Amino acid sequence: MISKILFINGPNLNLLGEREQSQYGSMSFDDLKKKCMEKSKNLSIELDFIHSNIEGEIINMIQNANTKYDGIIINAAGFTHTSVAIRDALEIYKKPKIEVHISNIYSREEFRHKSLISSVVNGGIFGLGVEGYNLAILAMNDLLNENK
């Protein structure tokens, strides 16, 4: 059976390749999406790779995921440090969840050191650049195969 994964990307990630390349690299969001779609296809995973700058939209995506997806991978970006509402939505979602960040949030500004969502996900990948996205897909695949 094919697994379905929702990969949520939060605010400003649509500007990858344009913003702080020292933190996020030079790959564009569209190229990252293609790379992730290819990786998921090779694993027989159906991947929906989406982006929103709007907190409420992300919450709606998480709430609607329960009946549509086997797992969620999320880079909540700036909302990682501020959104109790996204954290609560993720806590309600009882299937596997992985947090991913391109940069190492723990080696950046002090306000980025606190992730409100880390305590409600299965695990996290931080600071490995865009390769962290493929690692998150692999890790999710493993989590889902353990539960079969």
CA distance 126 to 130: 10
Q: How many CB atoms lie within 10 A of CB 110?
A: 6
Among candidate residues 87, 98, 33, the one with its CA nearest the CA of residue 59: 87
CA distance 42 to 61: 25
Active site residues: 24, 101
C-alpha to C-alpha distances, 33 to 25, 38, 39, 123, 131, nearest whole angstrom: 14, 9, 10, 21, 12
Helices then strands, counting H and E runs in the chain, come out as 5, 5
